Amino acid sequence: MVEWTKTERAIINDIFAKLDYEDIGPKALIRCLIVYPWTLRYFGAAGKLDTYEDIKSNKYIAAHGIKVLHGLDRAVKNMDDIKNTYAALSELHSEKLHVDPDNFRVLADCLSIVTAAKMGKAFTPDVQAAWQKFLSVVVSALGRQYH
Ligand code: HNI
Q: Which atom of ligand 1 is nearest to the CA of 99?
A: 31
Cβ of residue 16 lying under 6 Å from some atom of ligand 1: no
pLDDT for residue 19 is more than 90: yes
The pLDDT tens digits of the residues spanning 83-136 come to 999 999 999 999 999 999 999 999 999 999 999 999 999 999 999 999 999 999
Whole-number pLDDT of residue 39: 97
Is the model more confident about 45 or about 147?
Answer: 45
Q: Which phi-psi region, left, alpha or beta, contains residue 57 (left: φ > 0; alpha: ψ -120 to 50)?
A: alpha
Domain 6-146: CATH architecture, name and number where available: Orthogonal Bundle (1.10)
Nearest CA to ligand 1 atom 29: 99
What are the boundaries of each domain within the chain? 6-146
Ligand 1 centre distance from Cα of residue 62 (Å): 12
pTM of the model: 0.95
pLDDT for residue 1 is more than 90: no
CA distance 64 to 29: 8
Provide the 10 A C-beta neighbour count for residue 101: 16
Cβ of residue 49 lying under 6 Å from some atom of ligand 1: no
Ligand 1 centre distance from Cα of residue 120 (Å): 27
Whole-number pLDDT of residue 54: 97
CA distance 125 to 120: 12
Q: Which atom of ligand 1 is nearest to the CA of 33?
A: 32
Angle between helices 125-142 and 6-18 (to 10 degrees): 90
pLDDT for residue 146 is more than 90: no
Amino acid at 88: A
Backbone angles phi, psi at 100, to 5 degrees: -60, 125
